[in-house]
Structure 1
Amino acid sequence: MANDEKLAAMFRKFLRDTAGTYVMIFALAMPAVMGVVTAAVEMSTISRIRGQLQYALDASALATGKHLSITTDEAELKSYAADFFESNLGSAIDGQKVNLAFQFVEAPNSGKRIRLTANYDYDPIMKFLGLDDVLLNIVSEVTAGNKTIEVAIVVDNSGSMDSYTGSTTSTRLEKAKEAAGQLVTQLLALANISNKPDPVKISVVPFGHSVNIGSSHRGDDWMDMYGWSSIHHENIAWSGASTRGDSWPGLTAPSSGYKGQIGGSVSNITASGTTTSEWLTRWSLLDALDTNWGGCVEMRPWPYHTTDDEPSDLNADTLFVPMFAPDEPDEENSSEDDDYSNSYLDDYYRAYANPDGLTYWDSYRNVDRLLKDIPGKGANYGTYTRQQWRQDWAMKYNEDAKRSNYNSYYSRDYGDNGPNFGCTTQPLTPLSSDATTISDAINAMEAGGFTNVQAGIAWGWRTLSNGKPFTEGRPYYETENDKYIIVLTDGNNTYPGQSTDNDSQYTSWGYEKQGRVFDGLSTGMSAVAAMNAHTATTCNNIKAIIDGDGEAAYKIFTIAYDVSDGSSVKQLLYDCASAKADGSKYYFDVSGDALLAAMQAIGNEISDLRLSN
């Protein structure tokens, strides 16, 4: 402040002075002073113009890199780059003086890069000092991260996804399909500037209360084909006893052991000696009903439903067990429950004439007499109701298979019921680089059923790993590959309770009465709370895997879509999401059309488009 006042005082003295000394000195110094001032202005102007050009060029380069998702035609890209550059240039610069050049640059270590060059002919103020025009040359290059990427798109397909979202005329699932489709287009465009084989692969995992892995996998060695898993024979009573109908034909006593050797048959010791019999499994029941498996699997026993442990016959609980929804019992008198939701076979004697080929008619007459609950005693009389005996009795499935005129007497069209009850989603699509395959999988998704977020996350994980059941993924320790799981849901985990001895509808957890959903947890929690705990464990197990660079091998993005405030799933998804370098989370809480922007932001993060020059 003191210096400013001195300068002002000197300037006032200069203005008052009439002796001419200051005037003479100023006159002599004027050319030098003006040169310095003009040079300062010149440098400031050039710096400002250079900054404006660089800003516009960088913005254009990044935008053009993203535009690769729409076209790879160089002429179209150049035109797009020019338009974007001009729109960001500002009015202070004459666009006619700018020459913009576009080119793809091949680099052996980083694939293709987009290079934009802007030349600007600057007309200097200091021409009076003999300064020629200044040619400003600005360069901007954009490149994607020089890695391959694998992405699992995991989408809630439960019934609530059929609700309309926000003020739009689209359902939540329709909007999710749109957003996922745009993401796929955005990511597959990266292949156009990569020099790596299959640089982008994407899987699609729809989930409800279960995940459909595809019925074509019957027979794969990671499926439980022989009934060895500890959960395989739940809800199936193969042996009869006098009050429960006949045993399955040729049954070897379970006490002799279901598992004797690896193979399609086993030699067991019976009272009459050694005999060879087929393994009795859920597949046997499906075949007896002449019904195809729908493709859904149950949750593996704890802790394997929270892990990616590779299935092995040496540890049968790591094998995947097909869902088989039992025929739940009819209500035959007022003492029996009528709340069962999946009764698809008659429990009793048929009202029509005995068709040819019915071998076990006497069994049905036996069931008719002995497997009814006792009138006046109530549905839950005793520790195990006779309705439950009828539900578990395996021979009833074989009875129907014995009818030579089966189709004439009983329809196999079970509607929404049947052995595939609870299998509500389309099959997942393993990792693929084919745009049509991925888009078809997204467009095929349909809403229905309940919600099991953990199942979706776990199978998204399994599609990215390189071990069975799906082996399309690269090893997690590869340093030149990144793996991403994107999880979208519109609500909490759900567990469909039921006022019967089953305690619930049949789901990928079996029945609640078996208590498998609570395994590995403390007692006293609800089924939904148990599902939340298992979901959190699964997320933590995924994030704990470290790649060859010592970094997290998987990144999880989570999207709470149209989820009401106070919902427990918001915190669950927030905790599940991976953390960024700054400590924030890859978590999105959006509604309506905002989902499109969220997916684009995820695509930008995965694409890793960045300025390289």
Structure 2
Amino acid sequence: MSARSLVSRFLSEEGGNFALVFGLTLPLLAGSAAVAVETSNVFRERAILQYAADASALASGKLLSQTRDQTELQNYARKFFYANIKGRMNADNTTLALSLVKSDEDIVKGVRVNVDYRYPTYLAPILKIYHFDMDIVSEISAGNRSIEVAIVIDNSGSMDSYTGGTSETRLEKATTAAKQLAAQLHSVGAMSTKADPVKISVVPFAASVNIGSGNRGETWMDMNGWSSIHHENIAWDASSKRGDSWGGFVETGGGYKGIKGYSQDETGTEVDWLTRWTLFDAIDVAWAGCVEMRPWPYNTTDDEPNDMVADTLYVPMFAPDEPNEKGSNEDDDYSNNYLDDYDRNSSSGAYTFGTYVSGEGYNYGNKSRQHDRQWWSMKYNSESAYSKLGTKKSRDYGYYGPNLMCTTTPITPLTTSLTTVDDAIDAMRAGGYTNVQAGIAWGWRTLSAAEPFTAGRGYDEYENDKYIIVLTDGNNTYPNQSTYNDSQYSAWGYEKDGRVFSGLTESMSLVEAMNAHTKTTCANIKAIQDADQEPAYTVFTIAYDVSDGSSVKDVLYDCASEGKNGKRYYYDVQGDAIAGAMQAIGTEISQLRLSK
């Protein structure tokens, strides 16, 4: 074999055996001072070309999620290619062509970039070789993996603010960008051979998350009042006057049961559990679908609900009727007063509104006794057809009532339907406070295979990736109230009960506590490994129109996953830039990889 043929073979080699081929060539060139220079130039220019070809193939391949036009893709590839070799080598002797890689079913799977380069040799005086032709190839195909994506979007009241100097609100721009992202992901999914390659869930959040009122009765809901927080604002045992149908009560250790036929002389028979569901039914108001944060540590985990560990069950939000202001010295700051406080007048058999009831905390001018009335369960008794209760029951509670702070539309579980996703995003409305942790936690729960939502693939399934995309425009917030409750009711209950501080070892503010729980939730998500022994979840976070110095920026940065290049998947954007951020995330998720 001649020196020329060996060198030519090396320069056109597409595999990885450069060293072997060049090793056979080298003895024929030994002794020439020009060999070292030529060898260095060959390796350098081939490496530059291969890197540039790979970069252009990857860049144009990512564009497949937006177009299949070969000319457009080729022009895009050329732009990247020549930008990468500019100033490093002579581009005059290079040509680039791009072709589409298709499956047997004529489905576009990727792109192939071919670069032809005529290398002018310096060895012409020695070997009579004036140039060599190099053929560089880079082919990429869409990663044949299935993806599950939770789109978690802040629906708090501030998302109704205009942004970017336009007449569009943050929520309008965010939802438009989210729909474009969903379409982008479905476009990439068309290149996969897996069944249901793209599944997307939608999780609106504000002060709480709505998991859907149709889930009442599910085994993972606390239907019997066994969770330690279920009776937090209900005092079944605090009053001897409970109304007609509830009779007495019995504490079982796990909850309370009513007693049928109760009297002082007869204990009667236990009947249904007395729960928040009892109160919803008593005033004929449907549960809207929001749930409270589980007690620590389960508020930060995806532990599957189990009635043997009652705190893992999900408790419906029930905002209690806050007390009336009955005297000038009582507090008028209770905002969620939707029933009049009342008591049974045993002498007349009628419900009346009293000024003083011995032992029942109805004294005028006493704020602590005023607060006691918040706990009364008898206010909600559905059997009463007396006095003013009927008119109170029939009125439109509006924003107030037992569903206070349940302001968002329900979660849309994982679905393969792009139309379903678009409809869920379009249905979003801004209102309420902000609980970023609730959004992240429920995004996680929509992707896991465990109850309550079970459409996610198991962690033992290979080549499946899970992504959580979280967008918020501001800090966690906890609604204040200058009463004995210390706050308005929320998914954390009242501040007076201190649940938001559970599990935290340091003294901190409400917002700091919410931030700490959010970070712990994110850490728990990112710690899970999949069957490929890689992180099962990738978390993208977007701070949208968030002011510098806001604590949520630190939270979102900490929550975001870290890419292989060390970059955090955290985006800090304003106005129209939200569209670019969503598109960049979609491109990252597309999972395009070099196949050759």
TM-score (norm 2): 0.80
- Relative to structure 1, the CA distance from residue 98 to residue 541 in structure 2 (aligned partners, 3 Å threshold; closer, same or farther) is closer
Matched, 1:600 2:583: yes
* Counterpart position of 1:10: none
Matched, 1:288 2:282: yes
Of the three residues 536, 544, 547, the one matched with 1:553 is: 536
Q: For residues 157 and 290 of structure 2, what CA distance do their matches in structure 1 show?
A: 17
Deviates more, 1:212-221 or 1:270-279: 270-279
* Counterpart position of 2:356: 369
8 Å Cα contact 1:117/1:137 also seen in 2: no
- Relative to structure 1, the CA distance from residue 460 to residue 102 in structure 2 (aligned partners, 3 Å threshold; closer, same or farther) is closer
8 Å Cα contact 2:342/2:353 also seen in 1: no
* Counterpart position of 1:236: 234
Paired residues for 1:271-282 under 5 Å? 272=266, 275-282=269-276
Once the two structures are TM-superposed, the CA of residue 379 in structure 1 deviates from its matched residue by 4.3
Q: For residues 400 and 109 of structure 2, what CA distance do their matches in structure 1 show?
A: 55
Q: Deviations over 1:539-574 (max 9, x none)?
A: 111122222333222121222221111111111211
2:320 counterpart letter in structure 1: P
Once the two structures are TM-superposed, the CA of residue 193 in structure 1 deviates from its matched residue by 0.8
2:524 counterpart letter in structure 1: N
1:482 counterpart letter in structure 2: D
* Counterpart position of 2:331: 337
* Counterpart position of 1:24: none
8 Å Cα contact 2:57/2:139 also seen in 1: yes
Once the two structures are TM-superposed, the CA of residue 258 in structure 1 deviates from its matched residue by 5.4
Q: For residues 454 and 549 of structure 2, what CA distance do their matches in structure 1 show?
A: 39
Once the two structures are TM-superposed, the CA of residue 458 in structure 1 deviates from its matched residue by 0.9
Q: For residues 102 and 467 of structure 2, what CA distance do their matches in structure 1 show?
A: 28
Q: For residues 169 and 151 of structure 2, what CA distance do their matches in structure 1 show?
A: 18
Deviates more, 1:434-443 or 1:361-370: 361-370
Q: For residues 397 and 273 of structure 1, what CA distance do their matches in structure 2 show?
A: 23
Matched, 1:472 2:458: no
Once the two structures are TM-superposed, the CA of residue 412 in structure 1 deviates from its matched residue by 3.4
Paired residues for 1:453-468 under 5 Å? 453-468=436-451
Q: For residues 366 and 313 of structure 1, what CA distance do their matches in structure 2 show?
A: 40
- Relative to structure 1, the CA distance from residue 420 to residue 303 in structure 2 (aligned partners, 3 Å threshold; closer, same or farther) is same
* Counterpart position of 1:102: 100
Of the three residues 311, 320, 328, the one matched with 1:317 is: 311
* Counterpart position of 1:197: 195
* Counterpart position of 1:146: 144
Once the two structures are TM-superposed, the CA of residue 191 in structure 1 deviates from its matched residue by 1.4
Of the three residues 225, 228, 231, the one matched with 1:227 is: 225
8 Å Cα contact 1:66/1:186 also seen in 2: no
* Counterpart position of 1:81: 73
Q: For residues 47 and 293 of structure 2, what CA distance do their matches in structure 1 show?
A: 61
Q: Deviations over 1:464-502 (max 9, x none)?
A: 110111111111233311111111111111111111111
2:215 counterpart letter in structure 1: H
2:232 counterpart letter in structure 1: E
TM-score (norm 1): 0.78
* Counterpart position of 1:418: 401
Q: Deviations over 1:134-158 (max 9, x none)?
A: 9986654321223211111111111
1:78 counterpart letter in structure 2: Q
8 Å Cα contact 2:339/2:392 also seen in 1: no
Q: Deviations over 1:253-310 (max 9, x none)?
A: 333555599xxx9999996255141111111111111111110000111111111110
* Counterpart position of 2:249: 253
Paired residues for 1:38-77 under 5 Å? 61-62=57-58, 65-70=61-66, 77=69
* Counterpart position of 1:158: 156
Q: For residues 565 and 261 of structure 2, what CA distance do their matches in structure 1 show?
A: 62
8 Å Cα contact 1:238/1:393 also seen in 2: yes
Paired residues for 1:118-137 under 5 Å? none
Q: For residues 304 and 501 of structure 2, what CA distance do their matches in structure 1 show?
A: 23
8 Å Cα contact 2:60/2:74 also seen in 1: no
8 Å Cα contact 1:204/1:438 also seen in 2: yes
Secondary structure of 2:102's counterpart equals: strand
Once the two structures are TM-superposed, the CA of residue 115 in structure 1 deviates from its matched residue by 3.6
* Counterpart position of 1:113: 109
* Counterpart position of 2:10: none
1:364 counterpart letter in structure 2: Y
Matched, 1:210 2:204: no
Which protein has the larger Cα radius of gyration, Structure 1 or Structure 2? 1
* Counterpart position of 2:379: 396
1:81 counterpart letter in structure 2: L
* Counterpart position of 1:353: none
8 Å Cα contact 2:220/2:306 also seen in 1: yes
- Relative to structure 1, the CA distance from residue 361 to residue 50 in structure 2 (aligned partners, 3 Å threshold; closer, same or farther) is farther
8 Å Cα contact 2:539/2:569 also seen in 1: yes
Q: Deviations over 1:149-180 (max 9, x none)?
A: 11111111111111122333322111211221
8 Å Cα contact 1:68/1:192 also seen in 2: no
Q: For residues 146 and 87 of structure 1, what CA distance do their matches in structure 2 show?
A: 27
8 Å Cα contact 2:350/2:387 also seen in 1: no
Q: For residues 583 and 86 of structure 1, what CA distance do their matches in structure 2 show?
A: 28
Once the two structures are TM-superposed, the CA of residue 321 in structure 1 deviates from its matched residue by 0.4
1:499 counterpart letter in structure 2: S
- Relative to structure 1, the CA distance from residue 414 to residue 450 in structure 2 (aligned partners, 3 Å threshold; closer, same or farther) is same
2:287 counterpart letter in structure 1: W
Once the two structures are TM-superposed, the CA of residue 89 in structure 1 deviates from its matched residue by 8.2
Secondary structure of 1:583's counterpart equals: coil
Secondary structure of 1:364's counterpart equals: strand
Secondary structure of 1:477's counterpart equals: coil
- Relative to structure 1, the CA distance from residue 87 to residue 60 in structure 2 (aligned partners, 3 Å threshold; closer, same or farther) is same
2:465 counterpart letter in structure 1: D
Once the two structures are TM-superposed, the CA of residue 250 in structure 1 deviates from its matched residue by 3.6
Secondary structure of 1:602's counterpart equals: helix
8 Å Cα contact 2:340/2:389 also seen in 1: no
Secondary structure of 1:369's counterpart equals: coil
Deviates more, 1:141-150 or 1:303-312: 141-150
Paired residues for 1:16-35 under 5 Å? none
Secondary structure of 1:389's counterpart equals: helix
Structure 2 gaps, min length 5: 1-33, 122-127
Once the two structures are TM-superposed, the CA of residue 84 in structure 1 deviates from its matched residue by 4.1
Q: For residues 50 and 514 of structure 1, what CA distance do their matches in structure 2 show?
A: 65
Secondary structure of 2:69's counterpart equals: helix
* Counterpart position of 1:585: 568
Once the two structures are TM-superposed, the CA of residue 599 in structure 1 deviates from its matched residue by 1.7
8 Å Cα contact 2:236/2:376 also seen in 1: yes
Paired residues for 1:158-197 under 5 Å? 158-197=156-195
Secondary structure of 1:205's counterpart equals: strand
Between the aligned residues of both structures, percent identity stands at 56
1:292 counterpart letter in structure 2: A
- Relative to structure 1, the CA distance from residue 347 to residue 85 in structure 2 (aligned partners, 3 Å threshold; closer, same or farther) is same
Q: For residues 250 and 267 of structure 2, what CA distance do their matches in structure 1 show?
A: 15
Q: Deviations over 1:218-271 (max 9, x none)?
A: 0100000111111111211224636xx43563444333555599xxx9999996
Matched, 1:530 2:517: no
8 Å Cα contact 2:283/2:393 also seen in 1: no
